[in-house]
Amino acid sequence: MPHRLAPVCDAIARLLSPHAEVVLHDPVKDEVIGIWSAFADRAVGDPSLLGELEELSATGPDVYGPYPKSLADGRRLSSVSAVLRDDNGEPDVVLCINVDRTAFETASRVLAAFAAPVVGQPRVLFEHDWSETLNELVADYVRERQVAVDQLTKEDRLELLVQLDKAGVLSQRRAVPTVARALQVSRSALYQLIAQARKEPIDADPS
């Protein structure tokens, strides 16, 4: 007759498939009494070898792990075990969940590769693209200050305009409407800010 916890073990194995196996052990007989999505070549009735739990420190009431294990083929596992007691407080069964770390470690390496520093844009392609420079300078500025563009103060915009002017953005043809959109201000407001940033009057370019 299947153990009363068989549906629970089956549900856990189905949820984590194919990355986990679930095993029920008899702590008195020290043998496997149920196994779902088995990783290794073992079956019901095989020795449980639960002595390893005696070497671990509990991480909760009757809970051990996660702790590392390895398979014969070299795969590494993260395991957690729970001792379930009967009405008299004696150990009844031990539930173990073993998760194969292979897929997660592979995914971690892939994500780490994507997160690696990006090689700078080829200068030959972008040296004349002043709008790219505009976007980069504005993005860097708001990111460093952890503030949205629409929350920039007048002083912030003046400081940013000085950077844009030094980078040659403001001297580009039709730069004003593009910069105004980037800073989320009107053209007239931008002309005033530019004049103040340069400390001299500036005539509005009708273009």
Beta strands in 16-129 (DSSP E): 20-26, 31-36, 58-60, 63-70, 76-85, 91-100
Q: Is residue 116 part of a domain?
A: no
CA nearest 99: which of 80, 77, 116? Answer: 77
Examine the domain organization and report whether 74 and 136 are in the same domain: no
Examine the domain organization and report whether 186 and 129 are in the same domain: yes
Q: Which two tokens stand for residue 38?
A: 């088995």
Examine the domain organization and report whether 94 and 139 are in the same domain: no
Examine the domain organization and report whether 140 and 64 are in the same domain: no
Examine the domain organization and report whether 95 and 133 are in the same domain: no
* Number of H-type helices and E-type strands within the chain: 7, 6
Domain boundary among 75, 107, 139: 107
Domain boundary among 107, 136, 169: 107
Please tell me the predicted confidence (pLDDT) of residue 1: 66
Examine the domain organization and report whether 194 and 149 are in the same domain: yes
> CATH number for the domain including 63?
3.30.450.20
pLDDT in tens, 3-45: 889 999 999 999 999 999 999 999 889 899 999 999 878 889 9
pLDDT in tens, 51-83: 778 878 888 889 998 998 888 777 889 999 999
Examine the domain organization and report whether 159 and 78 are in the same domain: no
Distance CA 66, CA 61 (A): 14
Q: Is residue 81 part of a domain?
A: yes
Distance CA 22, CA 6 (A): 10
This prediction's pTM: 0.55
Number of domains in the chain: 2
Domain boundary among 107, 139, 167: 107
8 Å CB contact between 13 and 22: yes
Q: Is residue 99 part of a domain?
A: yes
Q: In terms of residue numbers, what domain contains 16?
A: 6-107
Q: Is residue 156 part of a domain?
A: yes
Q: Is residue 203 part of a domain?
A: no
pLDDT in tens, 130-168: 788 888 889 999 888 888 888 899 999 999 999 998 888
Q: Is residue 1 part of a domain?
A: no
Residue type, 169: V
pLDDT in tens, 94-119: 999 999 998 888 888 888 887 766 55
8 Å CB contact between 169 and 135: no
Q: Is residue 62 part of a domain?
A: yes
8-15: long-range contacts (C-beta < 8 A, 24 or more apart)? 9/34, 9/36, 9/95, 10/36, 12/36, 12/97, 13/37
* β-strand partners of 69: 77
Q: Is residue 80 part of a domain?
A: yes
Q: How many CB atoms lie within 10 A of CB 170?
A: 20
